[in-house]
A and B are shown apart, each in its own frame.
Chain A
Amino acid sequence: MSAELFSVFYQFADVFAFLILSAAGLAIVFGMMGVINMAHGEFIMCGAYVTVGLVNLGVPLPIAQILAALTAGIIGMIVELLIVRRFYKRPLDSLLATWGLSLIVTQSMLLIVGSAVRGIGTPEGSFAIGGYTFSTYRLVLFFCAVAVLAGLYIIFMKTRFGVIARATMQNAAMAKALGARTGRIYSISFGIGTALAGLCGALYAPTMTLIPTMGATFVVESFVTVVIGGANVLLGTAPAAVFLAMIRMALNASYGQIIGQIGMLFAVILIIRVLPEGLSSVLVRRGR
């Protein structure tokens, strides 16, 4: 019985981690900043490729993953400076611009790196409970997801940067009038967002096949989580991930992956219909 219970927790943790890690970066870039970043998946791909490249050069996996997240963050800040900055007041144009970027990046990776890269293998370690065996690394992913949420909470709620950043997102003109360097705030926030996308790719790189279009497998889940979460990263994305993970886990376990995916997307349609502002609109109102 305890094996069954643990297995339910493990499956929940697995889906939760996938949703949080793939959505965290987008929650900042899209949820807070309002930039519809169609290249989100490509930042995830960037994190994965940098990780594998560094591991193949002999860098230990955890260090490679941190460096990969930093790389994605720096590239993100450059992209913000060159492209995204010009589109803050034109959200639909930002969609087109980042989409174009995504096409250019996947095609260039295909031409430069090739159609498939050899994987590096998941870190060893599995454990058995009852008749089931589990991969230890999947639990590591879950704890990373929790750590990402905690880190975001500290950055945006407990630091001076976080206060100014939230002020900038709410009313950039007022924040600027009060002396906040809003340009830098936008740049750093976008960088944090893409670094988190890179971290997602870095963490999942050992468990997946690496191809230039791999980001696409994360994009649907990440947009869905952010959209039903609403504008507040902490009060939106996290509950949204818990909610979607429970639905998907339950349906996956009883009816298989197809029904799991259909059911999750169906739940998303319902929520958007009932709560167009996302889950956080309810939670934030309650909190006031």
Chain B
Amino acid sequence: MNSGRIVGMALLGAMLGIAATGSTQAAEPPLKVGLLEDVSGDLAFMGMPKLHGSQLAVEEINKSGGILGRQIELIHLDPQGDNARYQEFGRRLLNRDKVDVLIGGITSASREALRPIVDRTTTPYFYTNQYEGGVCDASMISMGAVPEQQFSTLIPWMVQKFGKKVYVIAADYNFGQISAEWNRKIMKDLGGEVVGEEFIPLGVSQFAQTIQNIQKAKPDWLLTINVGAAQDSFFEQAAAANLNLPMGSSIKIMLGFEHKRFKPPALNNMHATANWFEEIDTPEANDFKKRWHAKFPDELYINDMGYNAYNALYMYKALVEKAKSTKLEDMRKVIATGDACIDAPEGKVCIDPKSQHTSHRMRLISVGPKHEVTVEKDYGTIQPYWLGEIGCDLTKKNDKDQYTPSHLPSKS
């Protein structure tokens, strides 16, 4: 079924992928930025802000003189949420278009599909989502938040506030499975109990049985790490069945903006820890939101993926300008100094030399009955410390692996 969509994809790619070149006064050829984001298919509503964030950053950087005096040429392709197409387009951008940097991927499945292809080249790759953490790979720079920033803050808070019994609804692929593993580990450390875990195939939209299983297990709160538009129907159906339990998540609100897409009070009592959500009210954040909405007045919500995608280009600019080179090895020398930082709308963020993940200012937010968002707690800046603690050190060794609490580096 999917292969036939290539035609539609190619048309859309042609329309959306046109480079935002502007006037190239510089004699030097432009820097090519390859971008793979889904703007059609099941995840289009999340991917669209990622494309917009990238376009906004490219436009701003080009207007202020580019990177090392070179303009940026953005080459966007739409893989439509299809992992095979991620690989095909990844090869095309890396080998044929010879991009200077590759950015993108939404699901962790798409990232893991891309990573081996990137690893065979010397091109840097930026992954711009929050995710389940653990990738120790010198080619990849991660811009989003990871479990030690999201789960190690959220889960203890939920346990303290609502109780020790949790029920997990997770999407059935690597993101959901590994996130559930993180939850089990943290709950065990806290002396809590996972009273139920349900993994849902992507595309499932009917949840009457799940809702009843939850009521049978009688949890104090729910961890909802369901993914995609179909699975999000859970919230509407749970609200209609009057399930009425507190919920926590690492992807709801700031990423899927369910509080904007569903009628209140479906998302009432949802909690999440985030480095970005559109409701952040600081002068830097407000200025950023103003520029975004000026360029994209129809944007329903600036989600954290879109925000991270925007930051990724500025981080790339900072790395290239400090290294005075677009080569990955030179950029990694800058990262190794620990001085790879940018002033982002959330505040200053830096890349950790050991894991090449990004520090973030984390806030715990909650959604009220009218879907208003409140900041419950500000954790300040949290480092992505976990990979370094378990022995990933990219300044010394390139593991090219993804670690989880049950898959740790072998001691050597």
Contacts and interface: CB of A to CB of B under 8 A. Distances in A.
A252 B230 CA distance: 17
Which of A118, A138, A209, A212 neighbours the largest number of chain B CB atoms within 10 Å of its CB? A209
B260 interface: yes
B324 interface: no
Given A249-B209, A253-B209, A134 B241 contact: yes
Given A132-B212, A208-B205, A257 B200 contact: yes
A170 interface: no
Interface in A1-59: 7, 10-11, 14-15, 18
A207 B205 CA distance: 9
Nearest to A257: B200
A175 B354 CA distance: 78
A186 to B, nearest CB: 26
Contacts of B236: 119, 121-122, 206-209
A171 interface: no
Interface stretch (B39-47, B64-72, B95-103, B112-120): B39-47
A117 B212 CA distance: 28
Nearest to B262: A119
B243 interface: yes
B208 A217 contact: no
Contacts of B390: none
A82 B230 CA distance: 32
B237 A7 contact: no
Interface residues of A, number: 49
Contacts of A115: 39, 44-45, 47-48
Given A14-B206, A115-B48, A256 B240 contact: no
Contacts of A260: 209
B263 A118 contact: yes
A135 interface: yes
Given A107-B8, A211-B42, A216 B203 contact: yes
A217 B8 contact: no
The secondary structure that dominates the B interface is: helix
Contacts, number: 145
B261 A131 contact: no
Which of A106, A211, A253 neighbours the largest number of chain B CB atoms within 10 Å of its CB? A211
Which of A14, A110, A134, A257 neighbours the largest number of chain B CB atoms within 10 Å of its CB? A257
Interface of A: 7, 10-11, 14-15, 18, 99, 103-104, 106-107, 110, 114-122, 125-126, 128, 131-135, 137-138, 206-209, 211-214, 216-217, 249, 252-253, 256-258, 260-261
Interface of B: 4-5, 7-8, 11-12, 39-42, 44-45, 47-48, 172, 198-201, 203-206, 208-210, 212-213, 215-216, 218, 229-230, 232-233, 236-237, 239-243, 260-264, 266, 298, 300
Given A125-B240, A209-B262, 12 more contacts: A10-B208, A11-B208, A11-B212, A18-B206, A103-B8, A116-B300, A119-B261, A121-B236, A121-B266, A138-B208, A217-B230, A260-B209
